[in-house]
Amino acid sequence: MKYNSYYESYYTKLKKNEKIKSYKQLQSVVELRKTIPINNVISNIIKFKRKAINNIINGKDKRLLVIVGPCSIHDTTSALEYANKLKVLSNELDDQLLLVMRTYIEKPRTTIGWKGFLYDPFLDGSNDLKYGIYISRKLMCDINLLGLPISNEILNPITSGFFEDLISWGAIGARTTESQIHREVVSGLSFPIGFKNGTDGNIEIAIDAIKTAVNKHYHIGINDKGFISIIKTKGNLNTHLILRGGNNGPNYYKNNINLYCQLMARKGIASKIMVDCSHSNSGKNPANQELVLDNILEQRLSGNTSLIGIMLESNINSGSQPLSNNLQYGVSITDGCLSWIETENLLRKTAVKLRDTITKKNKVIV
């Protein structure tokens, strides 16, 4: 009795000192997909868009891949309004640009702050993750149903399973590119993925990540039914590098691109590069995204076939605002964005430049 009493007392003290206050069980991936299923229309759209993006990455499709949309989703109404506008523009520019909407629902934080729509969908610190997961999947289904492909950052490897059947293109962020588990998770995803260079500008960690994700892996993960499992992956052949600048400034200039292409060749990696026009490449000034895009376009038109796409941060209205009880509609609550009007004009100008180049080449051939 003394022995049992001692250990009961010991474990009671341990429990009092635990840092975790409570656990709440979430539904499994299978259960959520039954609650919000995808129909044959959505499934076929996603298959078609994934294949098109893969073809761009592998040089079979000469269009420019454009990942564009809000820095982060925080409101379903403005997100759907943006999606409808982008779908109309996509139909107009589809001969030159493949437009994919950003539907980023998780935000990496350097220290603390709002962690994204998935974590706090009511923007009030209530952290209703169960509803966040539900409404995020519902929004992604609704956007896909428009015929518009979506993108997402794979931030938490566990939550990615709730949405991976809906995503046409994904990214691994600057803070997680070096993570072994993220590389292994990518190796098992069935959609194309870009790895960003590190926040300090380090390119080699992203190149190493690409090389890792191409290969097969065994790792511990969560299966569709919610059980801890051994996951066997086949390797993801449709990965590429994303340049987002670093502590020393932009890294999208011609000399940077040439250097990175050489480095990738030495590592046995195909030179497939996307440029994030925001973050350190724009000096975190959304208006500078146009300057970055113009530079990339000039390099492409000069014959650089390694540049497969760009990323733009854009919303209904321009700029950003702090999280508050009086939010302006369609304005980012994270990084500053271009307005829809600015985005529309910029992408139209880009498509015109690409068409003009094709026309000139055809005249020379004739």
Instruction: Tell me the pLDDT band of 5, cut-offs 50, 70 and 90.
Output: low
| pLDDT tens, residue by residue, 207-229 | 999 999 999 999 999 999 999 99
The Cα–Cα gap between 314 and 68 comes to 6
Mean pLDDT (the chain) is: 93
**What pTM was estimated for this model as a whole?**
0.93
| pLDDT tens, residue by residue, 258-311 | 999 999 999 999 999 999 999 999 999 999 999 999 999 999 999 999 999 999
Q: Domains in the chain, ordered, with CATH?
A: 25-365 (3.20.20.70)
Q: What is the dihedral of CA 333, 338, 340, 346, to 10 degrees?
A: -160
Convert the chain into a string of H (helix), E (strand) and C (coil): CHHHHHHHHHHHHHHHCCCCCCCCCCCCHHHHHHHCCCCHHHHHHHHHHHHHHHHHHCCCCCCEEEEEECCCCCCHHHHHHHHHHHHHHHHHHCCCEEEEEECCCCCCCCCCCCCCCCCCCCCCCCCCHHHHHHHHHHHHHHHHHCCCCEEEECCCCCHHHHCHHHCCEEEECCCCCCCHHHHHHHCCCCCCEEEECCCCCCCHHHHHHHHHHHCCEEEEEECCCCCEEEEEECCCCCEEEEECCECCECCCCHHHHHHHHHHHHHCCCCCCEEEECCHHHCCCCHHHHHHHHHHHHHHHHCCCCCEEEEEEEECCCCEECCCCCCCCCCCECCCCEECHHHHHHHHHHHHHHHHHHHHHHHHHHC
